[in-house]
């Protein structure tokens, strides 16, 4: 059995994911907000388990045959181990014509990951992020 598993988000993961949100984001999602996604029919949230421990997650909303990544985060102790790549690849396995996301313009490791998986830059949202204020780059993966 592989040390890394990608599973659907469940109630059991919420506490760890809320902790991860606080570690990674200036405006983190609360445990209650994550819980709401469990009953959202458009939500497809995936959790990466490494040796049974929550290592990271990816949140996505599907509308028709398109998806939009709302969140992706990996605990610092699991970074640079392929967790983020595995989560994005799992999202790309969904039968979507397009998967889109936003990323801070300064987040070079994430941008390199998205490009290596075939995402293309297709826009910019000036001053989209706060704490600190920064542009968002828009990336999309188009299934041919």
Given 50, 114, 129, 141, the catalytic residue: 114
Active site residue 114: yes
Token duo for residue 71: 């969140």
Identify the CA nearest to 84 among candidates 20, 13, 10.
20
Q: Look up 141 and say whether it is catalytic.
A: no
Length of the chain: 144
Active-site position among 21, 57, 102, 129: 102
108 by DSSP, 3-state: which? helix
Give the active site residues: 102, 114
């Amino acid at each position: 059995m592989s040390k890394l598993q990608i599973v659907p988000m469940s109630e059991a993961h919420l506490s760890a994911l809320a902790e991860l949100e606080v570690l990674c984001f200036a405006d983190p999602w609360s445990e209650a907000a994550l819980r709401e996604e469990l009953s959202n029919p458009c939500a497809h949230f995936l959790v990466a388990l490494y040796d049974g421990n929550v290592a990271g997650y990816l949140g996505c909303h599907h509308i028709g045959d398109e998806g939009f990544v709302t969140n992706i985060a990996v605990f610092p102790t699991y970074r640079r181990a392929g967790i983020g790549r595995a989560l994005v690849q799992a999202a790309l396995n969904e039968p979507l014509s397009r998967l889109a996301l936003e990323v801070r313009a300064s987040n070079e490791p994430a941008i390199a990951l998205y490009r290596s998986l075939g995402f293309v830059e297709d826009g910019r949202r000036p001053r989209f992020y706060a704490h600190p204020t920064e542009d968002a780059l828009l990336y999309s993966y188009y299934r041919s």
